[in-house]
Structure formats: C-alpha cells, structure tokens
Amino acid sequence: MENIGRQIVLAARPEGAPRLSDFRLEEVSVPVPRDGEVLLATKYLSLDPYMRGRMSDRKSYSAPTPIGGVMEGEIIAEVVQSHHPDYSVGDRVMSRLGWRTHVVSDGNGLIKLDARFSPITTALGVLGMPGMTAYTGLLTIGKPQPGQTVVVAAASGPVGSLVGQIAQIKGARAVGIAGGPAKCAYVKDQLGFDAVIDHRSPRFAEELAAACPDGIDVYFELVGGAVWQAVFPLLNEFARIPVCGLIAQYNSTGQPEGPDRLPATMREVLSRSLMIRGFIVREFQDQRAAFLDDVSTWISEGRIGYREDIVKGFANAPEAFIGLLEGKNFGKLVVDVDGD
C-alpha cells in the first residue's frame, strides 16, 4: 500500500457561493494504526448540502470546520489493517470521517455494512443519512394520512424522492417540485409521483396551485426561497411542515430583498394552526433499525426507486460540491475516490 494519502481541507471561508480556491488538496502520510485501531481506505465520499454550513463561521447545530481543517463528510471505507478485535481486513464500514483517502479509527462511530447495502453506495443515499432524513421527518413530523396531499421540493434528489414515494406508500398524493424537464420527467415517469412541477417555469405558482386543488397538508421543506413563497398560500389548516434544508439560502450573504414577510407569515401560522418543525436527523437515531428494515424491504419489493450521481476521482470533490449547491447533480451525489 502507498504511504501517501490525500485530504481536502477548508482553505478559506467562502463569501457567498464557494469557489475552488476555498478548498485545498493536501498530501499526507498514511497513518499507522496502533493497538485497538484500524486503518481505513476510503472508497466513496458523500457530498451533501449541509456541508456548506460547516464552511461558515456562524452559530449552528454543529461547530464550523476550522481553516485548515479537513472537510466534514460521511465515507464508505475498507479496513486495510486491523488491530481491533471487532474488525477484519476487508470489512466495509461507514462513518463521518471527512474528505480524506485514509484514516485511523478506534472503532467509535463505525457502522459495518451488510448485504442490505447493495450497491454499497446506498449506505450514503437511500439507505443512509438522506434516506433516514426523509423517512423520519415525513413519518414523525409530517404524519401523512391517506388521501392527503404531500408536496416536496428537490423531488429528484435523495431526500425529496424518498419523501414522495413513502407518502404514496402511506396512501397520500405526492406532488414533487424539481428543476428542468429531465428531472421532472424522472420524478413523474420513473418514481411515479402523482404530479410534478418545474420550479423554473414562469407560471410555477399557478401550476403548483393547479396540482394541489385540495390544498397542501404536508410540505417537506428542503429549499426555501421562491418555492416556499409559492407553497405557503396553499397550506391547509393544521398542515405540517418538516424543515430539514434551505438550500436556496445557503450561499446568501445578507437578508433577502423585498418586504419583510415574517409578520404576515406568523399571522397565517397562527390563524391556520400550522406546525413548522425544524429537525436534524440525529434526533431520530432510535428509528434507524425501523428505517433500514422498511426502506430496504420497499426497495426489494420494487416500491422504492432511487438514483445516484457518481463523480470519479477524489480531487474532483470540490467542483462536484459547488455544482451540488447549484443543482447540477441528478440524484445522490457520491465521489468514487478510486475513480482517477
């Protein structure tokens, strides 16, 4: 095995949209595992919108990545050396160990991947954090009922696509919002949503209203911005809004232009008895076993479809991540580290 590994660190804090110069690729010595430790070689790296928040030095639910620190992220890795009784060479594991090709672990936080994860990359997508976000947020907060209307933005992505499909399994109507004809066609024709609206359409708000003649009972919020403004007037009394992402705002450097809509929004929250509940998926770790059992079963039964966007080459992670924030990916974005 080579003695040189690579890692990608935060070189500068971005102002607005990240640039390639905000990242730095470094060569480092491959660490040597001690007694009770394993050496891992990364095979796949997950790229997710939440990483943008770690690049900024502002108060959030997790500490920011320091300048010079390794970018945070989940990996799938193979055990290549083991001095730990619970792990053998060749074991495949998943953990949040960052953007690096090699890392030593004492086993804390490692999750062994079994035969349910096939292909193995599903551990980062439909059977990973994005899938569990969809499952727990929709069922615990959204609570869709048969015949109700569930709307989800970013419907071709790893979270939104699963939200709509689970909603249908529970007997609800699924209305997706996506960007561009290809993504809309995928959501409607391959995932089977009841309706899909292109948020790039000049008549987006009208088309969304037409697709939701009985209003919206659950809106799974991933985007914010103009999509939220179109959804909000359609929310029914007692509607539930799980909030797990606001990707339209992640690169913002100040307050949005236009009038302050907060007073009017709060008035409607009160008068329509709306429930807006932000959540971080780690709140629901006790549901992981149920999530894996249910979703892996639904996949095997052909009731759940998913799509992955695989980028080859570890060094291409920064460019792929920047594209993710611009909506350029199509499906769960994963870096094939050995794909150079």
Judge contact between 38 and 87, C-beta under 8 A.
yes
For the chain, list the domains and their CATH numbers: 4-125+306-336 (3.90.180.10), 129-285+292-298 (3.40.50.720)
* Confidence tier at 262 by pLDDT (50, 70, 90): confident
| Spatial separation of the C-alpha atoms in residues 230 and 87, rounded to whole Å | 51
- DSSP bridge pairs for 236: none
Res. 308: pLDDT tops 50: yes
- Residues 116-159 have pLDDT tens digits of 899 999 999 999 999 999 999 999 999 999 999 999 999 999 99
* Confidence tier at 63 by pLDDT (50, 70, 90): confident
Q: What is the pLDDT of residue 47?
A: 96
- Residues 80-110 have pLDDT tens digits of 999 999 999 999 999 999 999 999 999 999 9
Segment 255-266 shows an average pLDDT of: 72
Q: What is the pLDDT of residue 16?
A: 85
Judge contact between 40 and 104, C-beta under 8 A.
yes
**32-36, 54-58, 238-242, range with the lowest pLDDT:** 54-58
Type of residue at 311:
V
| Max intra-chain CA distance, the chain | 64
**206-215, 245-254, 304-313, range with the lowest pLDDT:** 245-254
* Confidence tier at 252 by pLDDT (50, 70, 90): very low
Question: Given its phi and psi angles, is residue 36 left (phi above 0), alpha (psi -120 to 50 degrees) or beta?
Answer: left
Type of residue at 258:
G
Res. 340: pLDDT tops 70: no
Judge contact between 333 and 309, C-beta under 8 A.
yes
Instruction: Give, in degrees to the nearest 5, the angle at Cα 228 between 253 and 150.
Output: 140
